[in-house]
Structure 1
Amino acid sequence: MPDSPQNTQLENTTIVITGASSGIGRAAAIALAEQGATLAVVGRNPERTRIVANQVGGRPFLADFDRLDDVRALAGSLLEAYDEIDVLANNAGGLVAKRGISADGHERTFQHNHLAPFLLTALLGKRLVESNGRVISTASGANMFSSLRFDDLEFAARPYLGGWVPYGTSKLETIMFIRELAKRVPGITAYSFHPGYVATEFGADSALVRLGNFVTRNSLAISPQQGAAPLVHLASTEELDVPNGTYFDGLKPFGRTRKLANDADARARLWDDTARILGLPA
């Protein structure tokens, strides 16, 4: 980050970004630092996380979302480091091509993309409320090929299909979580967004993603900077003139979602079931 930021729009604003060691998380951290924000750079890879933190003048924090104890330790470190947390950007996650089980016994996509950010948000919730903070979660247009079943949240009884349906389902859960958060927690604004198809390491272990990138030579993908634009916009714009809990498709509000995202009973059940799985009060 330059010694003197280009502007000070976000001066005295503390922003936590998970998955910030590469891709759109890294691009967003750079852009927000240029506006004067104080960045907590959260990543899994120690070297890359440190490099990005140094680049943006922020602090590195390590966490592997395959272990919920890492999330708990991360929350403790963040609360110790910052008296105010103005923005939490839940950006970490991804596509797991072959079904696997986390260290906590959960299907990995479900844990990485839903359980871990839910837990981190809950543990930082009081500090976010005190700061009149904002939660931003990276969702996806892939929510349209989701298959949410409350009797099989972890895809134990269904074909895994290369991870695509579990991934899409986790992103529907992201949208539902953000809408329920906006409803349940006064003092917090919350939004989710679809970044677009971005040229990153997303789905690197997916044969379908590799084939698609080979056939198109990545010509359909946008840059990490373009993919980060919605996150930067949502983190830096004080008044968005849309309802709390809105899902954005890129920079456009009211993106397309499955019907379950609009089902208040389903959102409440997902929240309560998730809290129970994590051992949190509803």
Structure 2
Amino acid sequence: MEQQDDPRTIVITGASDGIGAAAARRLSADGHEVVVVGRSAEKTAAVARPLGAGHFSADFARLADVRRLAGELREAVPRIDVLVNNAGGIFDRRELTEDGHEMTWQVNHLAPFLLTQLLLDGLLESGAAVVNTSSVAARLGRFRPEDLGDDRRWSPQRAYGDTKLANILFARALARRHGEQGLAAAAFHPGGVATNFASSTSTPLRFLYGTRLGRRLMISPERGAETLVWLAEGTPGRDWRSGGYYEKKKPARTNPRAQDGALADALWERSAELVGLSAGPPAR
């Protein structure tokens, strides 16, 4: 895709490492203003400094951090053209956050849901795009909105797959609810990327991501960031369809439940309830 004539302001969460950092470097090189967000203030600053980029730190396991981050972004970044919800992880055991939510659900879905909602007025004003990093693991998603993080059926892989399905449903719900106001949204799978993902867990994924042989079978963060960059630089309606799910810069198949509008609405309403927000009017 050709470089954009008008540079965009692009906020990327989970950008202290992996595809978030790789995308920040590529988008900055393409002339965009990048804002880097990560959990570690030191690592986030190290990514941002060579780019001359703004940077903020927040721990998505604490919703108070998300609310603080939203306030700081509203103050320091008056216009956001693209919000990339890229932060996430897989966790070794079922654990509740200080907010009372299962960790995987809070970090991978509830925190980005809250951040997006708190920035929504500005995103609508700028006609922004929201890009959610999902995964092929969304095909495993089988959650019920009333039982997010249910301990009776919890496993690291199941919780991860459930939240990655939620990332797609959230993008599609954003497009349905706010598309007529100019907001676009999409989700994507970056591929199997050689990062530190799952390296601190005892899940089978640790042996894929944490061994030399496994990492040789995977792609670089730079390649993994290509679809993220394509979505961030593209024009919805011309280059990609709002509400879509993408792999390798193309529409992709995923869990059939990702097409369930009633499930997307129920997830939205339950998520709003859990983070203490109004769900707003129903999707059209």
Shorter-chain TM-score tier = over 0.9
Hey, what's the Cα distance between the residues in 2 that align with 1:96 and 1:23?
A: 17
1:174 and 1:217, CA in 2 relative to 1: closer, same or farther beyond 3 A?
A: closer
CA distance in structure 1 between the aligned counterparts of 2:5 and 2:108, rounded to whole angstroms? 28
Q: Deviations over 1:207-241 (max 9, x none)?
A: 21232343734122100000000110000112444
Cα distance 1:10–1:164, how it changes in 2: closer, same or farther (>3 A)? Answer: farther
2:259 to 245, 259, 262: 262
Query: Structure 1 vs Structure 2: percent identity of aligned residues?
Result: 46
Q: Structure 1 regions of 5+ residues with no counterpart?
A: 1-6
Q: 2:223 aligns with which of 212, 222, 226?
A: 226
Query: Are 1:10 and 1:35, in contact at CA under 8 Å, matched by a contact in 2?
Result: no
5+ residue gaps in structure 2? 280-284
Q: 1:98-247 maps to which residues of 2 (within 5 A)? A: 98-158=93-153, 160-161=154-155, 163-185=156-178, 186-207=181-202, 208-213=204-209, 214=211, 216-239=213-236, 240-247=238-245
Shift of 1:260: 1.4
Q: Which residue is 1:3 aligned to? A: none
Q: TM-score, normalised by structure 1?
A: 0.93
1:264–1:37 distance in 2 versus 1, CA, 3 Å:
same
Number of residue pairs the alignment of both structures matches: 273
Q: Determine if the alignment matches structure 1 residue 51 to structure 2 residue 49.
A: no
Amino acid at match of 1:120: L
Aligned mate of 2:89, from 87, 90, 94: 94
Contact preservation (8 Å) 1:93, 1:112: yes
Distance in 1, matches of 2:235 and 2:96, equals 39
Give the drift of 1:121. Answer: 0.4
CA RMSD of aligned residues (A): 1.5
Question: Offset at 1:12?
Answer: 4.0
Quick check: 1:10–1:236 contact (8 Å CA) kept in 2? Answer: no
For residues 197 and 263 of structure 2, what CA distance do their matches in structure 1 show? 29
Query: 2-side partners of 1:187 and 1:241: how far apart?
Result: 16
* 2:42 is equivalent to residue 42 of structure 1: no
TM-score, normalised on structure 2? 0.92
The CA deviation string for residues 51-73 of structure 1, in whole angstroms up to 9 with x for no partner, is: 11112211110100010010000
CA contact (8 A) 1:143 1:258 kept: yes
Is contact 2:231-2:240 (8 Å) kept? Answer: no
For residue 9 of structure 1, report the CA deviation from its aligned partner.
2.9
1:10 Cα deviation from its structure 2 partner? 6.2
